[in-house]
Structure 1
Amino acid sequence: MKEGAMPKQLYQLSKSRYMKGRQCHKSLWLYTYKPELLEVSEAAEQAFTQGHEVGELARDIFPKGVLIPFGGFSYDQQVQQTQAALATAKVIYEAAFTHNGIFVKADILRKVRGGWEMYEVKGSSKLKDHYLDDAAVQYYVINGSGLTLTKAYVVHLNTSYCRNGALDHNELFTRQNVTVEVLERQADVKKEIARQKRMLKGKEPDISIGPWCSKPYNCDFDGHCWNKIPEDSVFDLAGKGVDAFDLYRQGIEKLKDIPQDLLKGKQLQQSQAALCKKTIVNKKKLREFLDSLSYPLYFLDFETFEASIPKYDGLRPFQDVPFQYSLHWQKRAGGKLYHSEYLAQPNLDPRKGIVQRLLEDIPDGACVLAYWKSFESNRLKELADHFPKKKKRLHSIIDNMKDLIDPFQARHLYSWKQKGSHSIKAVLPAFVNGMSYDELKIGNGLAAMEAYHQMCYLYDKPRELAQVRKNLLEYCKQDTLAMVKLLEVIVKKAAPPKKCK
């Protein structure tokens, strides 16, 4: 039986609900009583799937354990199965416990002299503070249920590990002893549980929006709590300076209502541009940028996937792996536009094909333009490290790379329509009429990554696979075509004014 189907009077709290309540009591109340308002993002779904995969793989650190299943069993049944396993098992996966009306499942329990060790597995690259709160509530429940815990660990991925052959689970994972920190949090856990229980007996808490809406996780109830925030609000304010939540607490909601003497730098620039609905143009700086380019000029964009568990040799956890690129180019300024592209086949290491085709498409010494070039250049460096025979050519591309984001990030060219953002998704529609990502089946890099993973599942379904490939090619091509169009805008804006005859 799923958690949401359990009688509320029996288990209003579980580990996940407790953690939701630690972040915001209102979120926990809504999750309990108004689950229909829940909006789970694509990113959250991907993180859940990735975390589940990591959790299963981490069991191989202590193999041959007993698994306590979740699906199809009530909380009480899972607790009963756990109690039976404790009598004979050395290692237990997903052991279930209740105490003080709270239900938890421990990722791994390992029997040792004097008791049991608890291991909480996280699909991240480092220990984070809220993981300690997570481990602390589990310790509280398990210890309170009568089981003796001798140590508590948080297990996370080791990004220094580079795969070479079969996965080495002991090298892939890092185990950090957090027993001291967990014990220090026990009194706070007990108090927080009491606060959450009292809160759940009342009406929806009157809690306004704040930094807790996205820290440590993005809340699933943004649509409910943020629905009254107006267009062009203080939360569009970008850059360092005045804090948007401070303004909001003072009753200032709209960007136009911010007192100008509170702002400076880019925030003041953004506010003034929005008030006057104007475009900022620094012709001199734009011409300097144009002078830094040479022809033939190549516009390059990579699409990448990342996996918490490295799929191929030479990869580390969470390493971005290019599986696709789009390349537009011109032999001379304003000349004919050419295009080339590459999209790897699913379930094969894409790096060799990417390097081979890219070096065929980009001549040695050519000027290459990217948008936020550090991303593309870092991928090229990683490819060069993996293919040392191609290192010289790949580094030549890096050395001749320019960044199209520079004039927009520095606001040598800025439109009030960008709302403070210099993302290409914001800049493109601000300057190029009728061109955006809204009509594409794939509209951002996260969706492209998910599409690649879909390709890997659809390898034996050619019709569905062909459609996903088509969508990916359209999206990546849009990125480099967008760069072409934005460079044309820069050329036009940098041109000196026409002289009267």
Structure 2
Amino acid sequence: MAQQLWRADSQHPQDAGRRMTTPHLSKSLLNNYRQCPRRLWLEMQDRAARKKGLAPVAQAVYSADTTKRFLDGHVIGRIAQACWSEGVDIEKASWITDEDTGQRQRDLNYATHLTYQWMQDQRRPLFEATFQHQNLLVMADVMVPRRHGHRVYWQMIEVKSSTTPKDYHITDLATQAWVAEQSGVDLDSVALLLVNKGFELHTAGDYTGLLGLHDDPDLQAQVRQAQQQMPTTLRGAAQTLALRQEPRKHQPGDQCTSPFECPYIGHCTEKTTGQTTGKTAKQTTPQPVPIRFYNDRGGAKAQTLIDAGHTDLRQVPPATIARLWNGSTDTHGVNQRLAQAVRTGRVVMDRAGAQAALQTLSWPVQHLDFETISFIAPVWPGTQSGQHIPFQYSLHRQAQSGQVLGHAEFLDTTGQDPRRALAEQLVKDIDPRCTVLAWNDSFERAVIRDLAEQFAELRKPLMRIHDQVQDLLPIVRRHYFHPNMAQAEGSTFSIKTVLPCMAAHLQYSQLGTVQNGGEAQLAYLLAAAPPGAEKEPGQTITPAERQQARKDLLAYCGLDTEAMVEIVKSLK
């Protein structure tokens, strides 16, 4: 190595955290800058405020999907390290005890010292090897020594819980490799360690074959090319951090959710009239209704109106809408109703058409909703990476008069494979004479079909249920539109969008910690705690946490089918 990472005259590592400052930027922070400079600025302001005990300019809010992705990353990282049994974990070894407080804390300066020491050994792979150059510090997932003649080089491996390479994987590797090489490390190649799609677990805990190494020449060239942008990227990040005011010129756009949702998206999309002073609350400014349509591929038709000078969907003449959406398909009909509802501010509903569609069902109907969990590293034998495993369902029975006749539910939180118990109970609960209604039935059908393929002795009754399933969503889509649906944050016809429009007394926001499918997965991990899926082995979950998670799961899944009951009442 051309350059030492730790000065020979350094003091004891326990003194390093007090004597040296932590670098300002990490790989993650630099990625935040690449996504949006405003995100980086807000995150650094947030950190500085928390350190001083002050309120941040904006509060980061991480979605359940983001949290689940972090968890998957921890699990895959742990499995990856098991591929090199002789590896040295720099991260684990760099925790020290503060002499003043007695608290354990990570000392990144000591981590660079340990990295240098073990790289001198030149024989053992390193996990979380830590490198610093200027004000940028990175930790490489895996560093593997490779001997070429009398000289040792290193392969840098980035571990990802993905099945295919992504653009941000390249910039991740470029950042890591650039800092390592600037620190004097001789790299001979870089690589991605990715999940093999379709991996099936045969023996609990045996993940042989789950991960595959990708180190082809194209990857090397892409990383080298991306490294050339590093000085420019660092300068831009430094300029952003030097700003005294929030860089509001970076307005919300596609970057807010690419490659992942920004935790400050709520802050940046907040619409107010001026500043809040004293006890005066923020006042909402009436905003134009954006030009946006349902199922408008590429936003082409919306762009046609924008190019013609339209800025508010309410102001677009009916004749213009009629020319734009003049077909007879569902999409054209939906957008005609959408534009009418927005323009008039009133619900557009074809009650006779909705009632006629409901009349074709076999009553009493049974409203069914599943909750599933997927593991990037499967935990139960016979399951695959990314497979949706059902662990819960809710079933409401409703008479043609609208009356609720009963409610059945299933939730397995034993931590064992829940599929057989769920399938057996489902067969008992479903009346074979009556229609089963789902919201976007392709998901429920797929779950039932997978269960039928797994359990041959239950195949016949399960496929009978499969064939009973019909979709409530198209009935709503063809016959109903509320003005608020045009500006919904989520999908126009998500049940969470439609429900408050039809039954204002029922709100997902009134639920506890589980208000969407991503949060349901996290709650299941708390309630069931299946071995192998935890962030850290031996993670402690209290009985109270398990009980609350189970309670929240039952409430959430129950509301999904209660919502369908209320929607049917509204249509009738």
1:176 pairs with 2:214: yes
| TM-score in terms of structure 2 length | 0.77
Letter in 2 for 1:19: N
Between the two proteins, what is the percent identity of the paired residues? 30
User: After superposition, what is the alpha-carbon deviation per residue over 1:419-451, rounded to whole angstroms, capped at 9, x for unaligned?
Assistant: 362111121121124222232223222222222
The 3-state SS of whatever aligns with 2:237 is: helix
Match of 2:101 in 1: none
Match of 1:414 in 2: 481
Residue 443 (structure 1) aligned to one of 496, 515, 535: 515
Match of 2:71 in 1: 49
Distance 1:196 1:259, change over 3 A: farther
1:215 pairs with 2:258: yes
CA contact (8 A) 1:346 1:452 kept: no
After superposing on structure 2, the runs of 4+ consecutive aligned residues of structure 1 that deviate more than 6 Å are 5-10, 243-253
User: After superposition, what is the alpha-carbon deviation per residue over 1:99-121, rounded to whole angstroms, capped at 9, x for unaligned?
Assistant: 24311100011111231111111
User: After superposition, what is the alpha-carbon deviation per residue over 1:382-421, rounded to whole angstroms, capped at 9, x for unaligned?
Assistant: 212221221222112111210011122x342122232362
Letter in 2 for 1:185: A
Unaligned runs of 5+ in 2: 1-12, 48-55, 96-104, 273-284, 326-331, 530-538
CA contact (8 A) 1:232 1:255 kept: no
| TM-score in terms of structure 1 length | 0.87
Q: State the 1:259 CA deviation.
A: 7.6
Counterpart-to-counterpart distance in 1, 2:471 and 2:18:
54
User: After superposition, what is the alpha-carbon deviation per residue over 1:132-158, rounded to whole angstroms, capped at 9, x for unaligned?
Assistant: 111111111112211111121112222
Counterpart-to-counterpart distance in 2, 1:95 and 1:327:
51
Match of 1:484 in 2: 565
User: After superposition, what is the alpha-carbon deviation per residue over 1:262-314, rounded to whole angstroms, capped at 9, x for unaligned?
Assistant: 87545564243123122222346424522441134221111122222211012
Counterpart-to-counterpart distance in 2, 1:326 and 1:231:
40
CA contact (8 A) 2:357 2:475 kept: yes
Distance 1:335 1:16, change over 3 A: closer
Match of 2:127 in 1: 93
CA contact (8 A) 1:163 1:314 kept: yes
CA contact (8 A) 1:60 1:169 kept: no
CA contact (8 A) 1:234 1:252 kept: no
Match of 1:495 in 2: none
The 3-state SS of whatever aligns with 1:169 is: coil
- Count of residues in Structure 1 that have an aligned counterpart in Structure 2: 487
Distance 1:284 1:342, change over 3 A: same
The 3-state SS of whatever aligns with 1:354 is: helix
Q: Which moved more, 1:105-114 or 1:325-334?
A: 325-334
Distance 1:76 1:468, change over 3 A: closer
The 3-state SS of whatever aligns with 1:342 is: strand
Q: Which moved more, 1:43-52 or 1:327-336?
A: 327-336
Superposed CA RMSD: 3.2
Distance 1:49 1:243, change over 3 A: farther
Match of 2:41 in 1: 29
Q: State the 1:251 CA deviation.
A: 11
Letter in 1 for 2:214: Q
Q: State the 1:254 CA deviation.
A: 5.8
Q: State the 1:200 CA deviation.
A: 2.7
Q: Which moved more, 1:168-177 or 1:94-103?
A: 168-177
Counterpart-to-counterpart distance in 2, 1:93 and 1:81:
11
Counterpart-to-counterpart distance in 2, 1:243 and 1:138:
43
Unaligned runs of 5+ in 1: 493-501
1:14 pairs with 2:26: yes
Counterpart-to-counterpart distance in 2, 1:249 and 1:65:
59
Match of 2:555 in 1: 474
CA contact (8 A) 1:365 1:396 kept: no
User: After superposition, what is the alpha-carbon deviation per residue over 1:139-191, rounded to whole angstroms, capped at 9, x for unaligned?
Assistant: 11112211111121112222310111134434111322222221121212232
Counterpart-to-counterpart distance in 1, 2:131 and 2:543:
46
